Structure 1
Amino acid sequence: MTDVRAPAGPPRLPFPGGRPAEPPSLYLRLRRECPVSRVRMPSGDLGWLVTRYKDARFALSDRRLSKAALTEPGAPRIRPGVLPPGLLFTTDPPEHTVLRTRATAALTRTRIGTLRPAVGQIARDLADTLGPRGEADLVADFARPLAMRVMCRLLGVPLGDRERFAHWAEAVLAVDGHGSGEVERAQRDLMAYTAALVAARAAAPSDDLVSALARDGDDATAVSLAATFLVTGYETMVAAVANAVLTLLTRGGLPAPWPTDPRALIEELLRLGTFGDALRTRRAIADVTVGGVTVPAGDVVLVSLASANRDETVFTAPDRLLPGRTPRHLAFGHGAHYCPGARLARMELEAGLRCLAGRLPGLRPAMAPEEVVPRAGSAERPPERLPVRWDPPGGASGSGRGGGAV
């Protein structure tokens, strides 16, 4: 019989074990035995971890669990550095409502639709460059450049600055592996650069998102939103593409031909852990009961979307890839802080996977799945490396699986 007892003392995040797109097994134990449990965060501070679907939805929508309170002096921290106030993910309604309204107005269905051909072209160019090689690191050679080029195209950021932005994004969102000074310096540099970009677009508008954000003259809000989009849009999409490919490769490969309507497949890939561990944090501003546990005012609550999306009381055979599931997954959150970039993320993920399936035939892993490790310090847990092979033009059919048989 499997031992499902939770550990005696507070376990420390990030939990050991688990591969990219596969949450650590400890989540299963906690869901069964201690679904709202005391944990020690990477900073050393204590928090409460929520692991079940129903409790996650409650915690993500209850107004007594605040995002803004995370920025108060002395608040427990999940990651290095002080969280900057006034951002989309560090505010509560009504301030958050104003920011979200601006974000939603900028990321319209029309804008996303207009961007779709450019995203498809970026993906095709990357795949066509790789095609003759027959092998590559999918993270370094496809997922990262795709995510960065799309964000640069969306926001109007010069491609020559992409390496700086990649560093800033990785540091700002890191939960471990970066010192407080490094994180806060990255935050300052990012905000200063974005402020200059907003000022330039306000003076000479273009067709990019920063110009749209700058049109009403509220520079502070435009800077806040542009910086948020750049950081979260880059890091989450690197994980989205890499983890989705890994998920498919460990379950038979990318569909060929690509589905005419891939929406159900995309949603199932999102549920299975496309954004990695995806911890969402709140701080109690009053005593609140979550899953039968009273969380005192001032304590931090962490919601594991990865665990909630594999809750076996909600999703039958939760580790299997079964498109068309109900209820809805929580990959983009829930409640007031539901991700305003969800439509963009779905479009970019689908475009990237469609291109890989159509242009890199026979795509397969070039290392055993158990050898694929997540990038250290990243909440999104993309693979550090994901070596893959495919059948290059004029090459052998390659029915073998190389070193990555699954």
Structure 2
Amino acid sequence: ALANWRSNVEQVGWPVALVTSAVLGLTVVLVRTLAKRARDEARLRLSDLVLANVSNGVTIADANAPDFPLLYVNPAFERITGYDAGQAIGRNARFLHCDDAAQEGLDIIRVALAEGIPATVKLRNIRADGVPFWNQVSLTPVRNKVGVITHWVGVQRDITKEEEARAALAAAYEDVAHYSADLERFSFVLAHHLQEPARQMRLQAQVLLQRLEEGGTPADREPSERIVEASARLIGLLRDVQTYLAVERLPAEGLPGSPNQALAVAVEWYKERIPGGAVRVDKDDLPKVGMTQKRLDDLFEILVENAVQFRHPERPLHLKVTAEPDGKFWRFRFADNGIGIDSCFFERIFIPLERLQPRTEHTGTGIGLAVARRIVEASHGRIWVESDGVRGSAFLFTLPKAA
């Protein structure tokens, strides 16, 4: 046969070497084509194996056919939805939500299909057995070499348990908020009613102390003095607790409040507690803020009282108050030259009833700065402290600008 082939080639007049080379070249191309086909088939088998075993549902829709019919669904899709491939292929995937078309996720999908962009949404779908479930759907366009979309790949994940857990958690939060509000109302009323017995206890102890001063010994008077002191602390504590709880009851916003007025009133009130009234105040012309004057008065009263309580024993009290714009807020800086605060206590000082100094050295209930934080945060601001622990402290806080 080879001899006949060579004879035929020679009769045609083609060089045997040239024809042999061409045949070899065609053979190589054929072998490579067959090898590529084998690799492609292996990749397809691997892809089929992967799609058949993934836990998420996978669909492929024809982007060029009317209504984007499904061309493929994997076994996970059948398991999640209850529809087998024969029931799904050829249909638009909208059959999964039946007549529940008023969903935000569906609007997002329509935009994605129109603009050819990926999208991930959460949909309320119905299984084949009529049981509803939550479906997280991700759509991705597939384009050909010239950029035209030929198919849409969808990935479905059943998130029903996650949504049920989220709903249960939200309900639990709502219950906690309800019980917390009830407890806060009860605590507010309780603090109010306990103040009267505390005042009576203090009054009676003072009467007893006066009688003992007329004929008793110092040892007789000491218990009464302690009762008077303890009842005074109790009255102050109940008052501060009531103030702390009342923050949420007062309106956060209203007519513009004047920080200048609030600062002046607070300083004048607490000057009497400083020997000789020695206090120096340097301040800007402070801007009005979007907060009621009552809340603003309470805030500056707390800050001034704190500065008076923790003033340095060897230098006159000096306050410096400034303000600068910070977006929709004013950022205030209330600085003193007191004993300062160690950085490890910067957060603790805002915790209710947290005391950093012994009661024998500094009076107070340990609630004031916690109230200050609630006042500021009720107006969507924030408050923090800066100090080197030696040369005083600076309280910085943001309050909304007046409308």
Q: Please classify the TM superposition score into its range, dividing by the shorter chain length.
A: under 0.3
Q: Point out which structure has higher relative CO (alpha carbons under 8 A, 6+ apart).
A: 1
Which has more radius of gyration?
A: 2
Larger relative helix fraction: 2
Q: TM-score, normalised by structure 2?
A: 0.22
